Structure formats: C-alpha cells, structure tokens
Amino acid sequence: IDIQARYGMPVTAGGDGKVIFAGRDPGYGGLVVIDHGADVDTFYGHLSTLYVREGQNIRRGQPLGAVGASGRATGVHLHYEVRVHGTPVDPHRYLN
C-alpha cells in the first residue's frame, strides 16, 4: 500500500527482525526489507534516506529511513508491503 506522508518524515519498523536489503532499487528507490522470521518480510520503499544497513538487527519502532519520492514514484509517500512466503498479502492486518 502507499501511505501519504510528508517528505523527510521518519519511517519506523513495524516489528523486530533483520535487515536483508538496504539500498537502491530501480522501482522502489530507497528500499529497506526486513525479515521477521516465519517467512514474513516487510518492504519500506521510496525512502529519501536510509538509516540502517544490511545484516542489522532491528527492533519494533526503530527508525529505518525517511519518507521520500525515490524510484518510480509519482509523489512523496511510503510504499509499505508485507510478503509471506514471498507472496504479497494485505498489509492492513499488520498495521497498528
């Protein structure tokens, strides 16, 4: 899902896990992917700045980066995606 937010607003981790990707992607732009175990991964895309690195252990609420419009984005927003066993699922049930 795409979540409208102000440019530069901090993006925080939805749960504990390990960063398995932190870098640039042609589509997602600045991207952080967290492995939460049980084959559940979360994607945080279109970030303007990344605060974490691959291999880093993350705690829920920890800042990951800042909202931006990088990659293939039509405006400033956060792309939030949840994948279970590699398949995208409705992320709303993971949001608080």
Specify the fold of 2-88: Glucose Permease (Domain IIA) (2.70.70)
Tens of pLDDT, residues 3-34: 999 999 999 999 999 999 999 999 999 999 99
| Helix H or strand E segment including 74 | none
pLDDT of residue 96: 63
Residues in Cβ contact with 74 at an 8 Å cutoff, skipping those fewer than 6 apart: none
Q: How confident is the model at residue 95 (pLDDT cuts 50, 70, 90)?
A: confident
Cβ atoms within 10 A of the Cβ of 47, count? 25
Residue 1 token pair: 């899902």
Residues in Cβ contact with 93 at an 8 Å cutoff, skipping those fewer than 6 apart: none
Query: Tell me, what DSSP letter sits at residue 95?
Result: -
Whether 62 and 46 have beta carbons less than 8 Å apart is answered as no
* Section 47-61 average pLDDT: 98
* Section 50-71 average pLDDT: 97
Q: How confident is the model at residue 2 (pLDDT cuts 50, 70, 90)?
A: confident
Q: Where are the domains of the chain?
A: 2-88
- CA gap 74, 4 in Å, rounded: 11
